[in-house]
Amino acid sequence: MLLSSQSILSEVTKSKNVYHDHGRHPVIIGNTFIHNGYPYAINSTLKSGVRLDILTAIANELDAMQESYSRVFLSRFDLRLPTGTPVETSNTWMSQLFKTLRERLKSKNGRPKGIAEPIINFAYGWVREKEKAKQVHYHCWIALPQRQVRKMGTQKHGIGGLITEIWMNLTGGEHTLVELPKARGEYPTHYIIKRGEPATLEGPILWLSYLAKERGKYQTGKGDRIHSTSKLSSKK
């Protein structure tokens, strides 16, 4: 629940630096992320804190989307890799995925059925993870104008179908490498964020803070990115 209090408008999220073999990163202290003066609950646990740098980058992109659209459709999806894929290759595929997705959504004939007009702006982000006994995988999110996109679709239709098609072409793999969202417990398949209504970010921030969890964000020491977002906020 959003904690409303004018006294916290000037506060910032408390964090600490965590050091590792290849550098350091900030981790949020506690289970609250303050953004634009409002505190939001996050998925912080004893086993894994939430990285402030990753969650801040996500929140800033969602802000930028709300400057262009009064209602924003937000959803998530996961991507897996063919066995043995090098990190350098998979990170390149991620960049190519969203570049191609942007080109297709802006095109006249490459958009999924049901999207009548080109989508000029959308926001996205990804994190790379590898936990014990698991393969490298990517958690992704995407934010689109809600007046044009009302649902994620399936692996054969809509936005989900387009993502699946592009990822299969890049990896040479099967559709099973793409996992689209399913309603689970307190989390739906998507959220609608409304401009000027901070409470509509409660669910999205909690949902996306899982992507920013500290656990699983392994570093190779070769300068490979473990997370990235679109750059809408940098164009303001």
pLDDT tens digits for 49-59? 999 999 999 99
- Whether 7 has a pLDDT exceeding 50, the answer reads no
| 94-122 mean pLDDT | 94
User: Hey, which bits of the chain come out as E strands?
Assistant: 15-20, 23-28, 32-35, 38-41, 71-80, 123-129, 137-145, 178-179, 190-194, 227-229
228 alpha carbon, distance to own chain's centre? 9
DSSP 51: B
Q: Is the pLDDT of residue 221 over 70?
A: no
Q: Inform me whether the pLDDT recorded for 229 exceeds 90.
A: yes
pLDDT computed for residue 186 by the predictor: 80
Q: Does residue 231 have a pLDDT over 50?
A: yes
Quick one: which of 73, 70, 60, 156 has its CA closest to 122?
73
Q: What is the mean pLDDT of residues 209-213?
A: 95
Would you say residue 42 has pLDDT above 50? yes
Query: Parallel, antiparallel, or unpaired for β 71-80 and 38-41?
Result: unpaired
Round the average pLDDT of the chain to a whole number and report it.
Answer: 90
pLDDT tops 50 at residue 163:
yes
Contact 110, 154 (CB under 8 A): no
Is 70 exceeded by the pLDDT of residue 3? no
Q: In whole angstroms, how far apart are CA 150 and each of 138, 146, 147, 168?
A: 24, 6, 7, 24
- Does position 149 have pLDDT exceeding 50, yes or no? yes
Instruction: Spell out a b/e string for 76-92, using b for 16 or more CB atoms within 10 Å of the CB, else e.
Output: bbbbbbeeeeebeebbe
Contact by Cβ (8 Å): 230, 124: yes
Residue 196 has pLDDT above 50, yes or no: yes
Quote the pTM value: 0.91
pLDDT number for residue 193: 98
Mean pLDDT of 211-222: 78
The most confident of the ranges 3-7, 27-31, 108-112, 159-163 is: 159-163
Distance between CA atoms of residues 32 and 15, nearest Å: 10
Statement: residue 118 has pLDDT above 60: yes
pLDDT reading at 5 higher than 50: no
pLDDT band of residue 223 (cuts 50, 70, 90) is low
* pLDDT value of residue 220: 63
Q: Phi and psi for 15 in degrees, rounded to 5?
A: -145, 170
